Amino acid sequence: MFMGPPGSGKGTQVRFLKEAHGWEHLATGDLFRDHLRLGTPLGRLAEEHMSKGHYVPDEVTVGMVRERLARIPASTRIVFDGFPRTVAQARALDELLGQHGRRVGCVVLLEVPREELLGRISTRGRSSARSDDSPEVLARRLEVYDERTRPVVEHYEKAGLLRRIEGVGGVDEIRARVAEVIA
């Protein structure tokens, strides 16, 4: 599982693991955007929250994850990207994984200073069409991360599953740190 604030590089590192190891990449942000692109009711609900910098309600997020987990073969390793984001989601994930004979093996937290995050997101926002990369929405996303996701970090730290990684440097440098932690 990969955690970190918006712009910390979770997606970049997870994509590498997917390609290098054939792991399934499960990112709730991608699930939300896919549902939005398809025009599903869940997608419209997710966009309503995402465009304001709010988290999508737990029951919607967990429902999407439940649906996706049911389609992943039990022999395939999964790497979560940006999920869970609340303690309620973490508890729901533990229950869902248990129903599928799975468990969380490791939680990687990419730590990046706020100034670096702002620069990264500003650059990404200029080159993408993501509605959640505007400066105003980013500021709110960082506030929400601090309020709601920090307790999830503490949850996994208490469980002895959390590994902290400095998320500053070149992509390959960070990738090497990740590889060392998950080995």
CB atoms inside a 10 Å sphere around CB 105: 11
Catalytic residue among 91, 130, 140, 175: 130
Q: Please give the full DSSP string across 15-54, using - where no structure is assigned.
A: HHHHHHH--EEEEHHHHHHHHHHHT-HHHHHHHHHHTTTP
Distance of CA 55 to the CA centre of its chain: 12
Indicate if 124 belongs to the active site.
Answer: yes
Catalytic residue among 33, 120, 141, 177: 141
Catalytic residue among 10, 33, 120, 177: 10
Catalytic residue among 33, 85, 120, 177: 85
Catalytic residue among 52, 68, 124, 164: 124
Indicate if 130 belongs to the active site.
Answer: yes
24 Cβ contact list (under 8 Å, min separation 6): 18, 72, 76, 77, 78, 79
Indicate if 103 belongs to the active site.
Answer: no
Name the token pair of 65. Answer: 């994850």
Number of helices and strands in the chain (H, E) = 9, 5
Positions marked active-site: 10, 85, 124, 130, 141
